Structure 1
Amino acid sequence: MSSAPEPPTFKKEPPKEKEFQSPGLRGVRTTTLFRAVNPELFIKPNKPVMAFGLVTLSLCVAYIGYLHAIQENKKDLYEAIDSEGHSYMRRKTSKWD
């Protein structure tokens, strides 16, 4: 019986720094003006700040929706009298409706 040949061993060399590329445009050569105008392309994402911004924006949209919803309920009622002299409650309306 013949023994199985041993597989060749490959030496893994540590990767050089130039082979690594950072995500985004941090590794690209750009002007200072471009970096000043577009800092979000070069700064590492900050997850707590993103979460705070998402919650804040969501609360603002919810508050605007709440204000819109209660506006319908705030239309004032007034007592109107028809031509026959009967009084009834009527909701104020805009002339634009």
Structure 2
Amino acid sequence: MADPEAGKQKADKGYRSPGLRGAQTSTLFRAVNPELFIKPNKPVMAFGLVAITLCVGYLGYLHAIKENDQQLYEAVDSEGQRYMRRKTSKWD
């Protein structure tokens, strides 16, 4: 009588997983490219996406504030004429 487990082992032996996980690769290749062999972790990906989105949003906010912060003031030249001048720093 044939053992059902023996047939299952033969079927499993010939099965290859799709993609690079089933490919014959060296240990160095797996060490250098772990993202190709590790299963995706969705909570970590979601956290990373939110973190990057918040960082980019904050940089955009700082850029928008900087453009609005270039204050103009009314200056008077030596001839008494008034004109608008942008605030500058001694470091510029």
TM over 0.5: yes
Separation of aligned partners in 2, 1:56 and 1:20: 39
Two-structure CA RMSD over aligned residues (Å): 2.7
Separation of aligned partners in 2, 1:17 and 1:85: 93
Tell me which of 34, 37, 45 is aligned to 1:39.
34
Separation of aligned partners in 2, 1:22 and 1:42: 11
Separation of aligned partners in 1, 2:48 and 2:17: 25
Cα distance, 1:74 vs. partner? Answer: 1.2
Between stretches 85-94 and 19-28, larger displacement belongs to 85-94
* Alignment match, 1:51: 46
- Where in structure 1 are there 5+ consecutive unaligned residues? 1-12
Other structure's SS at 1:78 match: strand
The 5 Å alignment of 1:54-73 reads 54-73=49-68
* Alignment match, 1:21: 16
Number of equivalences: 82
Other structure's SS at 2:21 match: coil
- Per the normalisation by structure 1, the TM-score is 0.67
- Whose helix fraction is larger, Structure 1's or Structure 2's? 2
**Greater radius of gyration (CA):** 1
Identity %: 72
State whether residues 24 and 42 of structure 1, in contact with CA within 8 Å, keep that contact through their aligned partners in structure 2.
no
